[in-house]
Chains A and B, each alone.
Chain A
Amino acid sequence: MPAQTSVGAGGLADRAPFDPDAAWAVHPQVAVRPEPFGALLYHFGTRRLSFLKDPRLLTAVRNLADHLSATDACRAAGIEPAEMRPYRDALAALAATHMIIERTGTDEPR
């Protein structure tokens, strides 16, 4: 088991602010399981469980790798720019817990 505890180590304060215009993807060790209320996300590496409470957020998260930016993925999921604030905060929370990660420049959209 890698040297990570199941409790989120490290503060959120030492992370770079979430950039919605960067390219993102679901972490390869994360399983996404849709549920009536949204979805469960489980990270096999950190053993952390997260809950998505919104169907459009779920769609955006699942399709992150298909878009050049998280903003685009949200737009494609039917989230209007004026609605973005809570979705941006949600994505930032997922980034802070390693549920989603930035794609490097060599990762092209699928």
Chain B
Amino acid sequence: MSLVSAVPTRPAGSARLVDHFQYGLDAPICLTWELTYACNLACVHCLSSSGRRDPRELTTAECKAVIDELERMQVFYVNIGGGEPTVRPDFWELVDYATAHHVGVKFSTNGVRITPEVARRLAASDYVDVQLSLDGATAEVNDAVRGQGSYDTVLRAMDNLAEAGFRGFKISVVATRHNIGQLDAFKELADRYGAQLRLTRLRPSGRGADVWDELHPTAEQQRELYDWLVEHGEQVLTGDSFFHLSAYGDPLPGLNLCGAGRVVCLIDPIGDVYACPFAIHDTFKAGNLRDEGGFARVWRESPLFQDLRRPQTGGACSQCSAFDACQGGCMAAKFFTGLPLDGPDPECVQGHGAGALSRTDRSGAPRPSQDHSHRGPVRGQPVLLGLPVRRADRPDRMCDESPLAGLEPQPAK
């Protein structure tokens, strides 16, 4: 019996290490912290429906208090994102504060602020990692999802990082119907820059719900993706987002389980704590760290997380021979396509999800509880399928920060 796992395996037997993780830890191993809902882009599939800053954002002092808590809890690192986190004026102050307090930082960015000077600063820091978002190996594929000019921006950031001697930064790709054919090109790009490729699953979360039907990989492409991931092993990161594909055969590297509320969670820009960044909905909201007891109390005592840490029955899926590998798939993928949580994943490799979807009234699917999308046109806005993304079906919020909320956008002058 092995007493050490570098990457947790899934041995047979009752005392699996992953079982301990499923029953929860005293502190997350890592967590996602969205620092702001503000963003210069308007990507069609944004998991956090970002664009406009929320006026209730955590202050600099509040953010430092969160970092102090994470240090006490010995959270090893945070994945800082947003929105575009670098647009916060105190971004560097917070990154420095985190690393000075034994909390490692990996931040996600579209590259807009990664200047040569910034790149040199990052290259000099031992405890800060950078993850650049890219959804096409060519501008044509990328910009259709992320907006005109976004490919050029991220390539420029990559050039600056490479020039500054920063090796090992991450290139993070959301796998879509239009980029599955570019997997080798992505790998080649990462290799060329001395970077590490990360592929993640498109979830129907945030604005992703509006484009999921058109963008999620086909069943054939899923198989192709799985085979490619197996071939590349640990060289390609996945954020554990493809464990539903493990039902095809050999498990993919990683924890191969849903860590939501057990190993990871989300802190959003206004201090709400959710089980997962792909589950921004009241159903998966554990609490707010501005309440008494802060983040630690939410993590350890919230009813939602305690519930997630109990053994999950698996419902209808538990009878399937593949259940041990896929564990019924992704909670968020089921929730936002209107499928029941105790049934198959919409992309179940055995096809059970597709069947369930066809019998489901999709118009009744839940909507995200936060929408900070830009109201008006954004320069370079992605034009997917030839149609601008419309938010006209969303009611205006009572506390919209813009005085023009509810008015029809005026034509550009």
Report which A residues bind B (CB closer than 8 A).
1-8, 31, 33, 35-38, 40, 42, 44-45, 47-54, 57, 86-87, 89-90, 93-94, 97
Contacts and interface: CB of A to CB of B under 8 A. Distances in A.
18 contacts: A1-B125, A1-B166, A1-B167, A1-B169, A2-B126, A5-B167, A6-B237, A7-B235, A33-B27, A35-B26, A44-B76, A44-B126, A49-B6, A50-B5, A86-B1, A89-B2, A90-B2, A94-B4
B128 interface: yes
Contacts of B166: 1
A3 B168 contact: yes
Contacts of A47: 77, 104, 129
B234 interface: yes
B2 A51 contact: no
A23 B313 CA distance: 48
Contacts of A52: 3-4
A8 B6 contact: yes
Contacts of A53: 2-5, 17
B8 A51 contact: yes
Given A35-B25, A40-B25, A87-B3, 7 more contacts: A1-B129, A3-B167, A4-B168, A37-B20, A38-B3, A51-B5, A52-B3
Interface string B64-87: 000000000010110000000000
B3 A86 contact: yes
Nearest to B194: A3
B1 A35 contact: no
B196 A5 contact: yes
A31 B17 contact: no
Interface in B168-182: 168-169
B6 A93 contact: yes
A9 to B, nearest CB: 10
Contacts of A89: 2-4
Nearest to A45: B126
Nearest to A35: B25
Contact of B6 (A44, A57, A97): A97
B20 A35 contact: yes
A52 B126 CA distance: 25
A39 to B, nearest CB: 10
Nearest to B233: A7
Contacts of A86: 1-3
B102 interface: yes
B58 interface: no
B20 A36 contact: yes
Nearest to A36: B20
Interface string B190-202: 0000101000000
B141 interface: no
Interface string B90-130: 00000000000010100000000000000000110111110
Contacts of B139: none
Nearest to B19: A37
B32 to A, nearest CB: 16
A36 B25 CA distance: 8
B293 to A, nearest CB: 21
A65 to B, nearest CB: 19
B72 to A, nearest CB: 12
A50 B9 CA distance: 11
Contacts of B20: 35-37
